[in-house]
Amino acid sequence: MAKLTVQDLDVRGKRVFLRVDYNVPMEEKEGKMVINDVTRIVETLPTLKLLIEKGGKLILTAHLGRPKGKREPSMSLAPVAVKLGELLGKPVAFATDCIGEVAEAAVAALQDGEVLLLENVRYYNEEEANDPAFAEKLAKVADVYVNDAFGAAHRAHASTAGVAAIVAARGGKCAAGLLMDRELKFLGDELENPARPFVVILGGAKVSDKIKVIDRLLEKADTILIGGAMAYTFKLANGVKTGKSLVEPDQTATALSAEAKAKKLGVNFQLPTDTIIATPVDTGKLNKKGKPVYDLVNVRTISGDIPDDAEGFSIGEETAKHYAQIISSAKTVLWNGPMGMFEDPRFAGGTNAVALAVVEATQNNGAVSIIGGGDSVKAINKAKLGDKVTFMSTGGGASLEFLEGTELPGVAALSDK
Ligand code: ADP
Ligand code: MG
């Protein structure tokens, strides 16, 4: 059922407890923590502006990093409050604690339309434990609950689930922010009854990470295109040699049953016909994590068996062209997982070609294009195509779980319309 959104809320004079995702990358510069990328803050501005306009008293809660229940100064949200104030063009108050007297006093000082950011909620272990007493403390300042942190919605934490349950039990409303609402629309409603042909592109590292998504999407998609390291497990299952490629031998039965299901349902299920391989050569050096560093030499494209001493790193050009052609006639495209190890330019070509095809389908064929998954979004942004697709999910792990059809605790906690 559709969830209540901030647009449906009357918040004038009310204390709005707003969970946001301000887990921004930070770096220490000259003894100060500096924000490297403000995207996540910028993305929340429409929700904030709407609630300010509606006359709510905004109490923002977020986490930063993994302070593991300690007051870790480098993970303070204080710099975020300053940056948010600049971006919003109005002062943002900051409370040095997310619960207790400090937080309550700061909330009491709020006028209608004013904004307060509470300190890192993960300074308390009780947050991730969804401790009921801690949730009560947070909820003490909440009349209305709003969640705009889709990326944290797959975890039942105090600020994503506990507080909402308490507000709801008191008869208060719990709503999705604008960002959360868009995620639910595109990853949910759009894929429920997609315009056809519906083409799904799945890649990334592991079959085991994606099998639930594959299984669910087999029931909806017209075509599934497989790439990335995941493809090699499918190849292995079909008796092709995969050399040193990243494969999961324990997933070959799963891979075969996915192929069988595709056949049964009449889904066009495609595996790569060529692949880019290289030979790893041990340099004798170790990386920061103590793992051996390999040089990748003799980069070449092959079809068929991968030699014993070689490793596959991307779909080949022939596959990329074939996939691009299929994508170009799609009306709905969902992409999760890069087609290769795109972080290395020698293996980025296939991912970039697919990205371009998705953009072309969007712009020339009127397709709705949806990108889910942390690394897929990185790949699209790296190719500078982020603004040319219909929707890029901010959810990472949460997107994947949502696509699997799992009910996310942070979504379940919201009131129905
Ligand atoms: P997403 O975050 O979009 O869901 P994944 O996390 O499943 O995607 O996979 C992305 C990672 O998979 C990338 O870091 C990429 O380098 C890696 N990858 C893709 N193809 C290969 C390959 N052939 N060999 C090794 N790593 C690969
Ligand atoms: Mg990933």
pLDDT tens for each residue of 278-317: 999 999 999 999 999 999 999 999 999 999 999 999 999 9
Task: Evaluate the CA torsion angle 381, 385, 387, 389 in order and state its sign.
Answer: negative
Q: For 298-335, give one letter per residue: b (16+ CB within 10 A) or e.
A: eeeeeeeebeeebbbbbbbeebbebbbebbbebbbbbb
**Residue 416 burial (CB count, 10 A):** 8
**Residue 289 burial (CB count, 10 A):** 5
Return the CATH number of the domain spanning residue range 193-404.
3.40.50.1260
19 and 61 Cβ atoms separated by less than 8 Å: yes
Tell me the pLDDT of the chain (417 aa) as tens digits.
799 999 999 999 999 999 999 999 999 999 899 999 998 999 999 999 999 999 999 999 999 999 999 999 999 999 999 999 999 999 999 999 999 999 999 999 999 999 999 999 999 999 999 999 999 999 999 999 999 999 999 999 999 999 999 999 999 999 999 999 999 999 999 998 999 999 999 999 999 989 999 999 999 999 999 999 999 999 999 999 999 999 999 999 999 999 999 999 999 999 999 999 999 999 999 999 999 999 999 999 999 999 999 999 999 999 999 999 999 999 999 999 999 999 999 999 999 999 999 999 999 999 999 998 889 999 999 999 999 999 999 888 899 999 998 899 999 999 999
Q: Which of 49, 185, 206, 378 is catalytic?
A: 206
Pocket residues: Cβ below 6 A from ligand 1: 204-205, 209, 228-229, 246, 312-314, 336-338, 340-341, 343, 373-376
Q: Looking at residue 396, what is its pLDDT?
A: 83
374 is catalytic: yes
Q: Taking each helix axis from N to C terminus, what angle separates 78-88 and 39-53, rounded to the nearest 10 degrees?
A: 60
170 is catalytic: no
243 is catalytic: no
Residues within 5 Å of ion ligand 2 by Cβ? 374-375
Beta bridge partners of 115: 58, 92
Q: Which DSSP state fits 307?
A: P
Where are the domain boundaries for CATH 3.40.50.1260 in the chain? 6-182, 193-404
Rounded to an integer, what distance in angstroms lies between the CA atom of residue 210 and that of residue 372? 12
Q: Which of 15, 40, 83, 173 is catalytic?
A: 40
Question: pTM of the full predicted structure?
Answer: 0.90
Kindly give the number of the ligand 1 atom that is closest to the alpha carbon of 343: 16
Determine the topology of domain 6-182 in CATH: Rossmann fold (3.40.50)
pLDDT in tens, 51-87: 999 999 999 999 999 999 999 999 999 999 999 999 9
Q: Looking at residue 199, what is its pLDDT?
A: 98
Q: Looking at residue 166, what is its pLDDT?
A: 98
397 is catalytic: yes
